[in-house]
Amino acid sequence: MFVYLLRCSDNSLYCGWTTDLEKRIEAHNSGRGAKYTKNRRPVELVYYEECESKSAAMKREWFIKHKMTREEKLKLISNMI
């Protein structure tokens, strides 16, 4: 399982979780990924982390989406590079 951050064409960030990063990014870029990203394509994978289980991935996604500021998310991204 993976938690990931995408940078959308409008420079916004989108967080999600998946079992297959490559397929999920393809889905987002083809308009089948999420309502949020559909009109913000193309998207670019800028961060990901592996999780032990679906439950752990969902909890981490929730934390990133609801508890982290944009600045904190950008710091995560910069640490990935």
Q: What is the DSSP string of 6-30?
A: EE-TTS-EEEEEES-HHHHHHHHHT
Listing from the earlier edge strand, what are the strands of the sheet with 2-7?
13-18, 2-7, 44-50
Report all structural domains of the chain as residue ranges with CATH numbers, in order of start: 2-80 (3.40.1440.10)
pLDDT in tens, 23-80: 999 999 999 999 999 999 999 999 999 999 999 999 999 999 999 999 999 999 998 7
- Residue 51's CB is within 10 A of a number of other CB atoms, namely 17
Q: Is the pTM of this model over 0.75?
A: yes
